[in-house]
């Protein structure tokens, strides 16, 4: 399994906000253990999806020149569940962004139902002093170049949708 | 220009939010790392919050200078901050109580310069300038 916790971006306002979706599927192995007879998307993976959404938003602001890592989750609240078949809509607003890192406020919804809300702080690993950088576990990486291929899903779907629409001047 | 009480109460609120501590723990003398349990990444969080609360810009390393001990080998000798090191600290951190460090200049005491009062001094200097 790949560490992709976002399926597609549906809106991207550079330096301002991003919205992505994640379709929860019973094909995901962990849902059979979390929990037997009561499959719900683990809260930690919702946080990961929000971090990938917000992390790419922050990364793009600086043209992906920095290594963005999830540094801290000062606040997170879980209001509700997401189950197989649900589509989670992640939204992140970029509140702070500087050379050292950034902060987003974020929400996760299924339809109109609020599932999760909170804030996430990211640090630029390449800009941290070495003592700090050493304390960071590699597993905290928000994205690598691989993860950025989520953005390709966008253009792919656009291309597919465009070819299925007749050209404007066709008769 | 807010009064020093106003600055203190806003700084206190900032630290309660950033570090998840209780208001009675945030005293002027409390050290961020030792008393309030701040970790390195929390400093970034604190800077973000202070910038927003006071509508100021805090350039990197200005409030919490990095790696003071490692900056220059003349600054530390036998685990003690030297006179040159203390002079450097006075220049870089006019908001910190360097005299207190000078009384017992062990390297591990550098982090005790980061107190709640130090943040208030920094903000006050910043708003005055």
Domain residue ranges in chain A = 8-161
If you measure CA to CA, which chain B residue comes closest to A72? B41
Q: Are residues B93 and B72 in the same domain?
A: yes
Contact B48 A96 (CB under 8 A): yes
* Interface confidence (ipTM) of the complex: 0.81
Q: Which residues of A are catalytic?
A: 34
User: Is B19 in the same domain as B36?
Assistant: yes
d(CA B15, CA B32): 9
**What's residue A96's pLDDT?**
93
| pLDDT of A167 higher than 60 | no
pLDDT digits (tens, 9 = 90+) for B31-42: 999 999 999 889
- Identify the bridge partners of residue A118 per DSSP, sorted by sequence position: A76, A106
Contact partners, residue A2, CB within 8 Å, separation at least 6: A146
- How far away is chain A from the Cα of B60, in angstroms, using its nearest Cα? 8
* CATH architecture observed for domain A8-161: Roll (3.10)
pLDDT over 70 percentage in chain A: 83
Same domain? For B1 and B23 the reply is: yes
Pair B49, B6 in one domain: yes
Q: Check B44 against A100: CB less than 8 A apart.
A: yes
**B11-26: average pLDDT:** 95
Q: Which residue has the higher pLDDT, A164 or A161?
A: A161
| Same domain as B18, residue B38 | yes
Distance, in Å, from the CA atom of B129 to the CA atom of B120, rounded to the nearest integer, reads 14
Phi first, then psi: give them for residue A114, nearest 5 degrees.
Answer: -75, 125
Q: What is the pLDDT of residues B80-103, one digit of tens each?
A: 999 999 999 999 999 999 999 999
Interchain CB distance below 8 Å, B48 and A71: no
Task: From B2, B19, B20, select the one nearest B10 (Cα to Cα).
Answer: B2
The whole-angstrom separation of Cα A118 and Cα A7 is: 21
Reply yes or no on whether the pLDDT at A170 is more than 70: no
Closest CA to A66 of A100, A17, A16: A100
Q: What is the pLDDT of residues B51-79, one digit of tens each?
A: 999 999 999 889 988 776 666 778 888 88
Minimal C-alpha gap between B69 and chain A (Å): 12
Residues of A at the B interface, defined by Cβ within 8 angstroms = 71-72, 74, 95-96, 98-101, 103, 121, 123, 129-132, 135
Rounded to 5, what percent of chain B is helix, strand, coil? 55, 5, 35
Is residue B91 domain-shared with residue B76, that is, in the same domain? yes
Q: Could you tell me if B60 and B74 lie in one domain?
A: no
**CB contact set of A91 (below 8 Å; sequence gap of 6+):** A17, A18, A19, A53, A106, A107, A108, A109
- Report the CATH number that the domain containing residue B125 is assigned in CATH: 1.10.1200.10
CB contact under 8 A, A72 and B42: yes
Among the residue ranges A53-62, A96-105, A146-155, the one predicted with the least confidence is: A146-155
Number of structural domains chain B divides into? 2
Residues of A in contact with B41 (CB under 8 A): 71-72, 121, 123, 132
Residues B59 and B78 in one domain: no
Q: For B67, which of A95, A100, A129 is closest by C-beta distance?
A: A129
| One domain, residues B9 and B43 | yes
Given a cut of 50, is residue A7 above it in pLDDT?
yes
Give the residue from A70, A119, A121 with the most B CB atoms within 10 Å of its CB, the best one to mutate.
A121
The alpha-carbon gap from A71 to the nearest alpha carbon of chain B, in Å, equals 7
Considering only CB atoms, B18 lies closest to which of A74, A101, A135, namely: A74
Residues B46 and B12 in one domain: yes
pLDDT greater at residue B16 or residue A155: B16
DSSP assignments along chain A, one per residue? -------EEEEEETTTEEEEEEE--TTSGGGGTSSTTS----HHHHHHHHHHHHHHHHHHHTTT-S-EEEEEEEEEEE-S---TT-EEEEEEEEEEE-SSEEEEEEEEEETTEEEEEEEEEEEEGGGS-HHHHHTS-GGGB---TTGGGHHHHHHHHHHHHHHHSPPTT--
**What's the gap in Å between the CA of B17 and the closest CA on chain A?**
8
Is the model's pLDDT at A164 over the cut of 60? no
Q: Are residues B18 and B46 in the same domain?
A: yes
Taking Cα atoms as reference points, which of A20, A154, A74 lies closest to residue B38? A74
What kind and span of H or E run contains B77?
Answer: strand B76-77
Count of other CB atoms within 10 angstroms of residue A55: 25
Domain coverage including residue B58: 1-64+114-129
pLDDT at A159: 75
- Residue range A76-101: average pLDDT? 96
B17-B19-B25 Cα angle (round to 5)? 95
B108 plus B55 within the same structural domain:
no
């Amino acid at each position: 399994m790949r560490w992709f916790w976002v399926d597609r971006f549906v809106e991207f306002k550079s330096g301002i906000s991003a919205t992505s979706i994640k379709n929860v599927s019973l094909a995901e192995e962990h849902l059979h253990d979390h929990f037997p007879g009561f499959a719900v998307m683990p809260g930690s993976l919702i946080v990961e999806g929000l971090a990938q959404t917000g992390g790419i938003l922050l990364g793009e602001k600086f043209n992906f020149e920095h290594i963005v890592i999830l540094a801290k989750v000062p606040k997170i609240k879980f209001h509700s569940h997401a189950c197989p078949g649900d589509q989670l809509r992640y939204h992140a607003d970029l509140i702070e962004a500087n050379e050292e890192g950034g902060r987003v406020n974020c929400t996760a919804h299924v339809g109109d139902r609020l599932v999760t809300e909170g804030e996430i702080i990211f640090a630029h690993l390449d800009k941290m002093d070495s003592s700090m950088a050493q304390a960071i576990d590699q597993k905290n990486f928000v994205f690598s170049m691989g993860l950025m291929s989520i953005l390709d899903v966008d253009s792919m779907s656009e291309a597919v949708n465009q070819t299925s629409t007749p050209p404007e001047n066709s008769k | 220009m807010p009064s020093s009480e106003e600055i203190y109460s806003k700084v206190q609120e900032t630290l309660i939010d950033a570090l998840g501590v209780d208001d009675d723990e945030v005293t002027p003398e409390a050290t961020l790392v030792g008393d309030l349990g701040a970790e390195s990444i929390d400093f970034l969080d604190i800077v973000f919050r202070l910038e927003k609360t006071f509508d100021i810009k805090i350039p990197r390393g200005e409030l919490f200078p990095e790696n003071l001990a490692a900056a220059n080998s003349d600054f530390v000798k036998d685990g003690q901050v030297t006179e040159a090191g203390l002079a450097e600290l006075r220049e870089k951190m006019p908001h910190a109580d360097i005299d207190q460090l000078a009384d017992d200049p062990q390297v591990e005491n550098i982090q005790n310069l980061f107190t709640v009062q130090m943040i208030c001094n920094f903000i006050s200097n910043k708003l005055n300038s």
